[in-house]
């Protein structure tokens, strides 16, 4: 049974990797777009390799592309990666990557992306359209 | 859209699974779905799921409807016994919340005791059954293992777990050396790994509901006693009997001053109080006993218990002096000009609502105020923003303080009645010093606790022409009188009296106090204008004169001045009266 969540400002969100599979979209291709120049030169042409990502909240393991760890450790941590000029949904995506997908509430996201109101963050990611798999995290209460 | 499904699956399929889980046959679920509007289906679905997955203690409704059971009272009695001393309502409430959360956790544990609690740091064997707190305590069976691969985690294992129809087969980390929130270590409870709000936080969130419900239950219990916000068990009180209380009474009478319970206990030290009872419990027991005995009254400020004898208190302490009682007035400060607003802040009247008025700069060691007729007659001083820092605040009805005359060293008992904003006990001093209405009085800080210095500004006595209140044809009038004055005073506020007894007879009864202010104000203004060579009267003088026969703060008087054309402003707070412009 799917766990139903009515999102509020206190609901934890995360990137749902299953969404990428269901939508038949490539997380690797998307991550490549966020590589910094140095990492792009080093990793862009390397063959794909999966790692066992461990969900920091549930302990569940997901097989995801190694580029996740590259973007998390380097590219998403750079000052210029997430700014008020970064497209909003991309900024939230990169915030989760930088955070290794630890679930965050709209209020907590607002602390990191202070130029976007928490209510806007909530409305954007609890609407009909799903952006980059960002959804309420299962069982993640505040 | 009212909500989304966290797994990302469409709402319809989620509804079927939820309905099945809740005991709804698929056909019925389909039928209901076809009959109900979509939003109603979603709301029902949400309610079903909330009941399935959410612990009751995590909801506001649970604490708002709190009813403390007799068993829980027993548990709290054990809590107090273990503490061995009086505890606050906060201590008891937190113990109650913790007990409820533990009971709920135990129930959850019991329900899911079929398997081990999953923790990423542990190793698991094929066939082992595990419970997953973040998946609503779902039970899963380990059906496979493989080495894990991650550049940061080092060596670890990935286990495949069959979690049944609800969650399917999923992979989890095992033997993971990397820190993880699900690892239950020292001091970490299952509630944390489940992502629940801990008891202390729950109490902080819902204490407005919990505290009153618990207080009510404790008061209804015959086992608990309460004194100044602390609770204790009757069975643990030290045995205080009438003999002890008689000695306490004698000690207070002999010292002629309030005594703290610790000081009273010293007087009782030779009696038969058990020595193994801690001093704090002895003091609490004595306080409970003295509180129940009508001979004693509690006269300490906040955070301090002091006991005194009711029979040594002024007989009129229990009621507000009639000179200080005012009816409710309606007025609009918006009508007052800047000058009147400034004067409002200058006049020390305890009935003035000082919100929004300019506050005087706090003077650390001394303040001066002007004595008004009502306070002079009542033998009191007002508690205003200016004088309040000099007086302790009463925890209950009043605090006993000591006034010390700065000139003579004379000590006088005073009574701070915080609730009604006055300090009683200066009647004899006013009379002895022959202080008129309008005299300057100063308050001084002292190094002694609960002691306030007081002084006036003495001058060589001489007869001066001042405005005076007289009784003519049974009503208040004003004349210039030549009277002996022996102190400095405020020219605008001074009002002499030629016959205090006759004036006292004019003081308005409670019914007369409720009559409209305007007719009386016109009469007073006209009388005062007549005796002034400039044919004007200052707003402060009007305030002082009105209060000779009826209690009225300055704001309603100033409101009337500003609202009627017969009162003509002359500038700098002065007004004249024009009878031809009466409404």
DSSP label at residue B489: B
Number of neighbouring beta carbons within 10 Å of residue B52: 14
B195:A140 CB<8 A: yes
Task: Give the phi and the psi of residue A74 in degrees, each rounded to 5.
Answer: -125, -70
Q: Does A66 touch chain B (CB under 8 A)?
A: yes
Q: What is the residue whose two structure tokens read 């000099």?
A: B390
Round to whole Å and give the CA distance between B155 and B178: 10
pTM, two decimals, is 0.60
Fold of B237-312: Arc Repressor Mutant, subunit A (1.10.10)
Round to whole Å and give the CA distance between A114 and B146: 42
Give the closest residue to A40 by CA, choosing from A74, A17, A63, A88.
A74
With 50 as the cut, is the pLDDT of residue B83 above it? yes
Find the range with the poorest average confidence among A56-65, B132-141, B544-553.
Answer: B132-141
Q: What is the mean pLDDT of residues B5-22?
A: 35
**For residue B108, what pLDDT is reported?**
67
How much of chain A exceeds pLDDT 90, in percent? 61
With 50 as the cut, is the pLDDT of residue B98 above it? yes
Q: Which residues of A touch B58 (CB under 8 A)?
A: 141
The CATH superfamily assigned to B348-459 is: DNA-binding pseudobarrel domain (2.40.330.10)
Q: Which residues of B touch A53 (CB under 8 A)?
A: 150
With 60 as the cut, is the pLDDT of residue B112 above it? no
Q: Where are the alpha helices (DSSP H) in B174-320?
A: 190-193, 199-220, 242-255, 261-267, 279-292
B134:A56 CB<8 A: no
Find the range with the poorest average confidence among B65-69, B357-361, B482-486.
Answer: B357-361
**For residue B10, what pLDDT is reported?**
33
**For residue B18, what pLDDT is reported?**
35
A138:B135 CB<8 A: yes
With 80 as the cut, is the pLDDT of residue B46 above it? no
In the CATH scheme, what architecture does the domain B120-183 have?
Roll (2.30)
Residue B496 contacts residue B468 (beta carbons within 8 Å): yes
Closest Cβ opposite residue A4 in set B14, B148, B178: B14
**For residue B158, what pLDDT is reported?**
96
Shortest alpha-carbon distance between residue B167 and chain A (Å) = 7
Higher pLDDT, B281 or B114: B281
Q: Where are the alpha helices (DSSP H) in B368-469?
A: 373-378, 427-433
**For residue B482, what pLDDT is reported?**
93
With 60 as the cut, is the pLDDT of residue B186 above it? no
Q: H or E stretch including B366?
A: strand B366-370
- Assign B23 a pLDDT band (cuts: 50, 70, 90): very low
User: 3-state DSSP: chain A helix, strand, coil percent, rounded to 5?
Assistant: 40, 15, 45
**For residue B466, what pLDDT is reported?**
94
With 70 as the cut, is the pLDDT of residue B93 above it? yes
Round to whole Å and give the CA distance between B180 and B171: 16
Round to whole Å and give the CA distance between B298 and B331: 38
- Give the 3-state secondary structure of residue B8: coil
Q: Does A18 touch chain B (CB under 8 A)?
A: yes
Give residue B31's Cα distance to chain centre: 56
With 60 as the cut, is the pLDDT of residue B471 above it? yes
Number of neighbouring beta carbons within 10 Å of residue B511: 8
Residue B296 contacts residue B312 (beta carbons within 8 Å): no
Q: Encode pLDDT of B200-218 as tens digits.
A: 888 998 989 999 999 999 9
Q: Which residues of B touch A122 (CB under 8 A)?
A: none
Q: Encode pLDDT of A86-131 as tens digits.
A: 899 999 999 999 999 999 999 999 998 988 899 999 999 988 889 9
Residue B74 contacts residue B99 (beta carbons within 8 Å): no
Q: Does A61 touch chain B (CB under 8 A)?
A: yes
**Tokens linked to B138:** 């779902």
**Tokens linked to B90:** 């906060």
Give the closest residue to B301 by CA, choosing from B404, B423, B400.
B400
With 80 as the cut, is the pLDDT of residue B273 above it? no
Round to whole Å and give the CA distance between B259 and B503: 41
**For residue A48, what pLDDT is reported?**
87
b/e burial code for range B468-485 (CB count within 10 A of at least 16 → b) = bbbbeeeebbbeebebeb
Higher pLDDT, B459 or B356: B459
Q: Where are the domains of chain A?
A: 13-136
B14:A60 CB<8 A: no
Q: Which residues of A touch B149 (CB under 8 A)?
A: 50-52
With 90 as the cut, is the pLDDT of residue B145 above it? yes
Mutate to test the interface with B, among A15, A43, A54, A69 (most CBs of B within 10 A): A54
Q: Which residues of B touch A51 (CB under 8 A)?
A: 149-151
Shortest alpha-carbon distance between residue B122 and chain A (Å) = 12
Q: What is the mean pLDDT of residues B240-263?
A: 91
Q: Encode pLDDT of B296-306 as tens digits.
A: 999 989 888 99
A138:B6 CB<8 A: yes
A7:B5 CB<8 A: no
Round to whole Å and give the CA distance between B76 and B359: 48
Mutate to test the interface with A, among B8, B155, B201 (most CBs of A within 10 A): B8
Q: Does A7 touch chain B (CB under 8 A)?
A: yes
Q: Does A16 touch chain B (CB under 8 A)?
A: yes
A14 backbone φψ class: left, alpha, beta (φ>0; ψ -120 to 50): beta
A22:B158 CB<8 A: no
**For residue B193, what pLDDT is reported?**
52
Cα radius of gyration (chain B):
37
Round to whole Å and give the CA distance between B114 and B131: 8
Domain with CATH 1.10.10.10 in chain B: 237-312
Residue B443 contacts residue B454 (beta carbons within 8 Å): yes
Residue B366 contacts residue B444 (beta carbons within 8 Å): yes
**For residue B308, what pLDDT is reported?**
93
**For residue B22, what pLDDT is reported?**
37
**For residue B3, what pLDDT is reported?**
35
- Give the 3-state secondary structure of residue A101: coil
- Assign B114 a pLDDT band (cuts: 50, 70, 90): low
Q: Does A54 touch chain B (CB under 8 A)?
A: yes
Closest Cβ opposite residue A54 in set B5, B120, B170: B120
**Among all residues of chain A, which has the CA nearest to that of B179?**
A56
How much of chain B exceeds pLDDT 90, in percent? 54
- Assign B370 a pLDDT band (cuts: 50, 70, 90): very high
Q: Does A13 touch chain B (CB under 8 A)?
A: no
Q: What is the mean pLDDT of residues B498-516?
A: 86
Shortest alpha-carbon distance between residue A56 and chain B (Å) = 6
Give how far Cα A114 sits from Cα of A80, A82, A84, B238, B399, Å: 15, 11, 9, 59, 51
- Assign B427 a pLDDT band (cuts: 50, 70, 90): very high
Domain with CATH 2.30.30 in chain B: 120-183
**For residue B366, what pLDDT is reported?**
92
**Tokens linked to B174:** 């095992």
Shortest alpha-carbon distance between residue A130 and chain B (Å) = 9
Closest Cβ opposite residue A139 in set B1, B5, B195: B195
- Name the β-bridge partners of B469: B478, B497
- Assign B103 a pLDDT band (cuts: 50, 70, 90): confident
Q: Which residues of B touch A139 (CB under 8 A)?
A: 6, 53, 134-136, 195
Task: Give the phi and the psi of residue B471 in degrees, each rounded to 5.
Answer: -105, 120
Q: H or E stretch including B518?
A: helix B517-530
**For residue B59, what pLDDT is reported?**
79
Domain with CATH 2.40.330.10 in chain B: 348-459
> Strand (E) positions, B428-499?
440-445, 451-456, 458-472, 475-487, 496-497
**Tokens linked to B399:** 């605090």
Q: Where are the alpha helices (DSSP H) in B434-516?
A: 500-506, 510-513
b/e burial code for range B264-275 (CB count within 10 A of at least 16 → b) = bbebbeeeebee
**For residue B44, what pLDDT is reported?**
42
B8:A136 CB<8 A: no
B4:A7 CB<8 A: yes
Q: What is the mean pLDDT of residues A129-137?
A: 91
Residue B583: Cβ-neighbour burial (10 angstroms; 0-12, 13-18, 19+): exposed
Round to whole Å and give the CA distance between B464 and B481: 8
Q: What is the mean pLDDT of residues B541-563?
A: 94
**For residue B217, what pLDDT is reported?**
92
B5:A69 CB<8 A: no
Q: How many CB pairs under 8 A join A and B?
A: 131
Task: Give the phi and the psi of residue A126 in degrees, each rounded to 5.
Answer: -115, 15
**For residue B330, what pLDDT is reported?**
86
**For residue B183, what pLDDT is reported?**
76
Q: What ipTM goes with this model?
A: 0.87
**For residue B357, what pLDDT is reported?**
64
Closest Cβ opposite residue A61 in set B7, B46, B172: B172
Length of chain B: 583
Residue B37: Cβ-neighbour burial (10 angstroms; 0-12, 13-18, 19+): exposed
The per-residue pLDDT of chain B, averaged, comes to 84
Shortest alpha-carbon distance between residue B134 and chain A (Å) = 6
A127:B170 CB<8 A: no
Number of neighbouring beta carbons within 10 Å of residue B13: 13
């Amino acid at each position: 049974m799917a766990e139903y969540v009515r999102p509020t400002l206190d609901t934890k969100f995360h990137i749902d990797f299953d969404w990428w599979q269901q939508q038949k979209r490539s997380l690797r291709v998307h991550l490549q777009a966020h590589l910094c120049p140095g990492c792009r030169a080093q990793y862009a042409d390397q063959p794909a390799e999966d790692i066992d990502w461990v969900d920091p909240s549930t302990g569940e393991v997901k097989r995801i592309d190694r580029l996740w760890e590259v973007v998390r450790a380097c590219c998403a941590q750079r000052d210029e990666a997430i700014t008020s000029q970064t497209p909003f949904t991309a900024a939230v995506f990169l915030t989760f990557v930088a955070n290794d997908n630890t679930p965050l509430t709209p209020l907590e996201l607002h602390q990191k992306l202070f130029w976007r109101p928490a209510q806007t963050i909530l409305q954007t990611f609890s609407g009909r359209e799903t952006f980059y798999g960002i959804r309420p995290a299962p069982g993640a209460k505040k | 859209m009212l909500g989304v499904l966290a797994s990302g699956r469409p709402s319809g399929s989620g509804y079927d699974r939820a309905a099945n889980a809740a005991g709804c046959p698929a056909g019925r679920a389909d039928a209901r779905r076809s009959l109900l509007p979509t939003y109603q289906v979603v709301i029902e679905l949400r309610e079903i799921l909330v009941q399935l997955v959410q612990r009751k203690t995590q909801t506001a409704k649970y604490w708002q409807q709190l009813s403390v059971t007799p068993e829980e009272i027993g548990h709290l009695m054990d809590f107090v016994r273990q503490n061995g001393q009086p505890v606050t309502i906060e201590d008891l409430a937190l113990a109650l919340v913790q007990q409820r959360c533990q009971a709920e956790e135990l129930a959850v544990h019991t329900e899911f005791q079929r398997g081990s609690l999953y923790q990423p740091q542990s190793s698991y064997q094929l066939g082992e059954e595990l419970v997953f707190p973040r998946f609503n305590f779902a039970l899963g069976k380990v059906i496979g293992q493989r080495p894990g691969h991650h550049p940061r985690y080092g060596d670890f294992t990935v286990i495949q777990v069959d979690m049944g129809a609800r969650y399917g087969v999923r992979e989890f980390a095992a033997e993971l050396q990397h820190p993880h929130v699900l690892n239950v270590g020292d001091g970490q409870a299952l509630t944390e790994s489940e992502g629940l709000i801990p008891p202390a936080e729950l109490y902080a969130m819902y204490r407005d509901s919990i505290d009153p419900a618990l207080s009510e239950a404790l008061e209804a219990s015959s086992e608990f006693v309460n004194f100044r916000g602390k609770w204790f068990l009757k069975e643990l009180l030290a045995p205080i009997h009438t003999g002890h209380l008689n000695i306490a009474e004698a000690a207070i009478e002999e010292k002629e001053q309030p005594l703290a319970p610790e000081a009273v206990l010293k007087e009782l030290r030779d009696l038969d109080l058990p020595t193994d009872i801690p001093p704090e419990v002895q003091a609490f027991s004595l306080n409970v006993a003295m509180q129940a005995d009508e001979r004693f009254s509690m006269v300490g400020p906040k955070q301090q218990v002091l006991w005194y004898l009711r029979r040594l208190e002024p007989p009129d302490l229990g009621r507000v002096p009639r000179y200080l009682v005012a009816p409710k007035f309606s007025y609009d400060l918006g009508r007052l000009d800047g000058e009147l607003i400034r004067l409002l802040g200058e006049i020390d009247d305890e009935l003035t609502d000082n919100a929004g008025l300019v506050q005087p700069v706090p003077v650390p060691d001394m303040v001066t105020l002007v004595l008004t007729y009502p306070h002079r007659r009542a033998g009191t001083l007002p508690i205003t923003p200016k004088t309040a820092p000099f007086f302790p605040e009463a925890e209950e009805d009043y605090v006993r303080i000591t006034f010390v005359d700065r000139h003579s060293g004379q000590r006088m008992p005073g009574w701070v009645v915080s609730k009604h904003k006055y300090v009683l006990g200066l009647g004899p001093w006013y009379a002895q010093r022959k202080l008129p209405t309008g005299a300057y009085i100063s308050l001084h800080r002292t190094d002694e606790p609960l002691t306030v210095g007081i002084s006036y500004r003495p001058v060589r006595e001489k007869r001066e022409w001042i405005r005076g209140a007289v009784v003519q044809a049974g009503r208040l009038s004003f004349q210039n009188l030549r009277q002996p004055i022996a102190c400095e005073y405020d020219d605008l506020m001074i009002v002499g009296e030629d016959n205090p007894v006759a004036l006292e007879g004019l003081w308005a009864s409670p019914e007369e106090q409720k009559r409209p202010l305007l007719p009386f104000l016109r009469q007073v203004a006209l009388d005062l204008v007549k005796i002034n060579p400039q044919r004007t009267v200052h707003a402060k003088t009007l305030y002082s004169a009105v209060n000779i026969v009826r209690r009225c703060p300055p704001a309603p008087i100033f409101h009337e001045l500003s609202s009627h054309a017969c009162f003509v402003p002359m500038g700098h707070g002065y007004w004249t009266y024009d009878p031809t412009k009466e409404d």
